[in-house]
Amino acid sequence: MPELPEVETVRRGLQPVLEGARLVNVEARRPDLRFPFPERFSERLAGKTVTALGRRAKYLTMHIENGPVLICHLGMSGSFRVEAAGSSDIPGTFYHERSKSTAHDHVLFDVASTTGKRSRVIFNDPRRFGFMLFAEGPPDTHPMLAGLGIEPTGNALDGPLLASLLKDRRSPLKAALLDQRLIAGLGNIYVSEALWRAGLSPLREAGTIAGAAKKAKEQSERLAGAIRSVIADAIAAGGSSLRDYVQADGSLGYFQHSFAVYDREGEPCPKPGCRGHIERIVQSGRSTFYCRTCQR
């Protein structure tokens, strides 16, 4: 499943094509993805200008002049492809490879840039867990987005704030970090990575790093920094892949090269001086990768 850094990379890849461009024609080639398309989907978009392409957690928000905001979610397997005269690019490469089968091209956006250059933005989604919905007002008030917690990007997420979110929580630290009402857009891969960077066990009770003791304060500070840095590093890697993807064949996900623990069961812990090995455990039905030697 694409995580926040992948979605941000997609946004940055689509931004130059979509922002300021006019949607000449929009076609949904089936009645639904995970949810039915909104009524009059194509009619309400065609002929309109895209004023901004934003992101909240793992949702893309396409702002339409004098129109609704189109909220897009990539689901498990969704991707966008941009086709211009003679070229085809998928913005952002993923840990799990994207489908290139045109049988799963479900939505077509024909766009014209301010200079008149035509291109086609295609949404492809073999498993159809993605969706597109309209927000009639500010997207943050839409039911899909209204309950979301703080973004793990930027400087807002610091030690004291993280401690306030985790205070008195008895659930395992990993489960609390995956709770989208607390931190929005943090997923399975980057939670494992952040906990490893911070040297904290995914199994410990979340509230234990939210106490008044000096040690708890250091731990919450360390974890907040680890979450921000792991996301920022992945977004930076995505950005460099965007610069490279013209010549890349798209078959290698760049993210897998930057994982320290995710999907590395049995390998030596990469932390300098640590002699432990990466283990895989299952928490709430999902894999967690960690080193029990240096993560306490």
Residues lying near Zn ion in the complex (CB under 5 A) are found at 269, 271, 274, 276, 291, 293-294
Whichever of 105 and 279 has its CB closer to Zn ion, that residue is 279
User: Residue 191, Cα to own-chain centre: how many angstroms?
Assistant: 12
Partners of residue 112 on adjacent β-strands: 22, 118
Active site residue 68: no
Catalytic residue flag (residue 2)? yes
Q: Which is nearer to Zn ion, 225 or 276 (CB)?
A: 276
- Neighbouring CB atoms inside 10 A of 71's CB total 21
29 given a catalytic annotation: no
Q: Smallest gap, in angstroms, from Cβ of residue 204 to Zn ion?
A: 15
Cα(87)–Cα(49) distance, rounded to whole angstroms? 23
CB of 293 to Zn ion, least distance (A): 5
Smallest distance, Å, CB 130 to Zn ion? 36
- How far is Cα 168 from Cα 55, in angstroms, rounded to an integer? 31
Choosing from 2, 5, 139, 152, the catalytic residue is 2
Please say which residue, 76 or 203, places its beta carbon nearer to Zn ion.
Answer: 203
For residues 124 and 99, is the Cβ–Cβ distance under 8 A?
yes
Give the active site residue among 11, 56, 58, 264. 58
Identify whether 265 is a catalytic site residue.
no
Sequence-distant (≥ 6) Cβ neighbours of residue 210 within 8 angstroms: 162, 163, 164, 165, 166, 167, 168, 169, 216, 220
Q: Per the residue annotation, which of 48, 204, 271, 286 is the catalytic one?
A: 286
- Which CB sits closer to Zn ion, 53 or 278? 278
Which residue(s) pair with 78 in the sheet?
none
Q: In whole angstroms, how close is the CB of 179 to Zn ion at the nearest point?
A: 26
Identify the residue whose tokens are 């703080």.
150
Catalytic residues: 2-3, 58, 286
